[in-house]
Amino acid sequence: MDSLALLLAATLNSGTVLAFAALGLLINERAGIVNLGAEGMMLVAAVAGYATAVHTGSDWMAFAGGAAAGALLAAAFGVLVIWLNTNQYATGLALSLFGTGFSAFVGIRYTQEKLTERPSFQIPVLTDIPFIGPAFFRQHPMVYIAIALTAALAWFLYRSRAGLVLRAIGESPESAHALGYPVRRIRLIAVMVGGALCGVSGAYISVVYTPLWVEGMVAGKGWIALALTTFATWRPARVLLGAYLFGGVTMLQFHLQGEGVQIPSQFLTMMPYLATIVVLVLISRNATFIRVNMPASIGKLFFPGT
C-alpha cells in the first residue's frame, strides 16, 4: 500500500512536468500555431532555471528564469513563423535542434554544480491522512498550481470573450482579421505564453524533478507533450489527465524495477515512448473526430490581405 501511495505521489510529480508544457502548447495550438520547438525550449529553460537556482538559491526565481528563457525562444520562433511566414514545422524543428545544442553548450559549467538541499513540502493535517496524505498532499506547490492553471485555462477558453477570440483565430485567422482583430499580435502573445509555460516545465525538471543538470535531461518530454495536446483534443482538463497518465507510465518503470520485475531496464525505459505511440494511434484512428476538434488553421500560412 505504501509503495502504491508513493507511486501516486510520483505520478503527480511527473505528470506536472508534462502538464505545464502541454498546457502551454495547447494555448498556441488553439491560436493555430504548432511549435515543434518544445523540446529545445524546455532544455534551454532547464539549464536557465538551474543556473538561476544555483546563483540565487531561490526555486521561484528559477521558475521565472525558465519561463523567461522559454518566452524568449518562443518569441524568436513566433516572429519567424507569424511575420515572416516560415514553415511552422521546419522552424519548430530548427528551434529544437538549436535548443538541444545551445543548452548542452551553456550547461557545461553546471554539470558539476549542485543545488542546495531540496525542501520537502507537505500540507499540514491533510498530510497525516493514511494513504491519501502521502499520495496527494506531500507535493511541491507547483503541482497544485498546475491543477489551478488547468481550471483557469478552461474557464478562459470557454467562458471568456478573450478565449473565444483566441479560438476564433485558431479556427480562421482570415475571418478574424476581416473582423478587425490583431491576429498576428494575439498569436505572438499566445506563442510566448506557451513558451513561458514550457519554460516553467523545463525549470521544474532541473530544479524539482531531478535536481541536477545533465545534457539532454528532458529526454523527449517536449515531444510527448506535443502528442499529449493532440491526444487530449486540445481541452485543458483532458490534458491534465493525460499528463498524469503519462507520468504514471513513466513512474511505473521505476516501480517495477523496485519490485524486482525481471525485465531488462532498457525495455522499461522505453515504456513512456511506446505508450505515446499507442496513445497517438488510438486517438488518431478516427480522422473525422480529430478534424472536428482540431483548430482548423494549425500549420497553415496566414497572409493578412495587404
Using CA atoms, how far residue 16 sits from 66, 128, 150, 240, in Å, is 15, 23, 11, 8
Q: Which of 119, 124, 260, 305 binds another protein (CB under 8 A)?
A: 305
Distance CA 293, CA 290 (A): 5
Q: Is 105 in the site for another protein (CB under 8 A)?
A: yes
Q: Is 167 in the site for another protein (CB under 8 A)?
A: yes
Contact 31, 186 (CB under 8 A): yes
Distance of CA 134 to the CA centre of its chain: 25
Q: Which of 118, 261, 274, 300 binds another protein (CB under 8 A)?
A: 274
Q: Is 80 in the site for another protein (CB under 8 A)?
A: yes
Q: Which of residues 34-73 bind another protein (CB under 8 A)?
A: 36, 40
The nearest distance, CB 154 to another protein, in angstroms, is: 17
The nearest distance, CB 158 to another protein, in angstroms, is: 11
Using CA atoms, how far residue 260 sits from 41, 51, 264, 271, in Å, is 36, 37, 11, 17
Question: What's the one-letter identity of residue 151?
Answer: A
The cell 522552424 sits on which residue?
91
Distance CA 195, CA 31 (A): 13
Positions in the binding site for another protein (CB under 8 A)? 36, 40, 76, 80, 83-87, 89-91, 93-95, 97-102, 104-105, 108, 161, 164-165, 167-168, 171-172, 174-181, 215, 219-220, 223-224, 226-227, 230, 264, 266-267, 269-270, 273-274, 276-277, 280-281, 284-285, 287-288, 290-292, 296, 303, 305-306
